[in-house]
Amino acid sequence: MAQFTSNNNVIEIEHLVKSFNGKEILKDISLNLKIGENLAVLGKSGIGKSVLIKCIVGLILSDSGKINVLGKDITNLNQTELLKIRQKVGFLFQGGALYDSMSVRENLLFPINRNLHLIDKQKIQELIEESLNSVGLIDEIDKMPSELSGGMKKRIGLARTLILKPEIILYDEPTTGLDPATSREISNLILKVQKDYNTASIIITHDINCVKLTSNRINIIRNGIIYAEGTYEKLKNSENEWVSSFLK
């Protein structure tokens, strides 16, 4: 596993609080993500893991606390400034979130047209092919989402994220609903993206095999706080029975 120092954070969260209908989901979350690091965030269902990463990109507004992304406190940004940060942060939704009415090519063209405003058709084609090659699906370029398996949809969703060369990727349950073999393929792909693009990533997952394979470090949420932090081996061998049992 790669080693990281404490002064190269791309995300810093301090005392994050978020409630819904008067119920505190995130009570006091503080964590950091380092350059080039894969950080897995674990916790029971409904504990607020997906809420956390949606707060990071401003899809959900926090009640209080600091969220610093690439040197910017996003809680104090206007919409234009927030959009600039979002271009540097890829977000892979659980189902891939492809547009059903668009082909694979058109799905990848969408962020190019929206964010890069390129007019060189050859350059556009090169970006699309590069992204599809990175996930091993160049042959599916003209298929519709309905023609793809669940694993393929997640790969295409990741390819679309990679189009903008993000510095950070947020994975929301990347292996949910997939068979063990496909889950391992997606986990290996997460590692490949980390190596090839030097991305820093937060991986929200219940898949312990994915955690074991992909994570440099783990944070476990319990009762609205970061209850435990460390490497897979450290937490698996923790004297705290609740923590160690979480990784079995």
Percentage with pLDDT > 70 across the chain: 96
pLDDT tens column, 171-205: 999 998 888 998 999 999 999 999 998 999 999 99
Q: What is the pLDDT of residue 145?
A: 92
Q: What is the pLDDT of residue 172?
A: 92
Measured between alpha carbons, how far is 200 from 166 in angstroms, rounded to an integer? 9
Measured between alpha carbons, how far is 194 from 45 in angstroms, rounded to an integer? 26
| pLDDT over threshold 80, residue 129 | yes
Measured between alpha carbons, how far is 32 from 248 in angstroms, rounded to an integer? 25
Query: What CA–CA distances, in Å, run from 59 to 29, 133, 158?
Result: 17, 30, 19
| pLDDT over threshold 70, residue 4 | no
pLDDT tens column, 133-183: 988 899 999 999 999 998 899 889 889 988 888 999 999 999 988 889 989
| pLDDT over threshold 90, residue 98 | no
Query: How is residue 170 written in tokens?
Result: 């947020």
pLDDT tens column, 10-22: 999 999 999 998 8
Nearest CA among 175, 135, 139 for reference residue 156: 135
Q: What is the pLDDT of residue 96?
A: 65
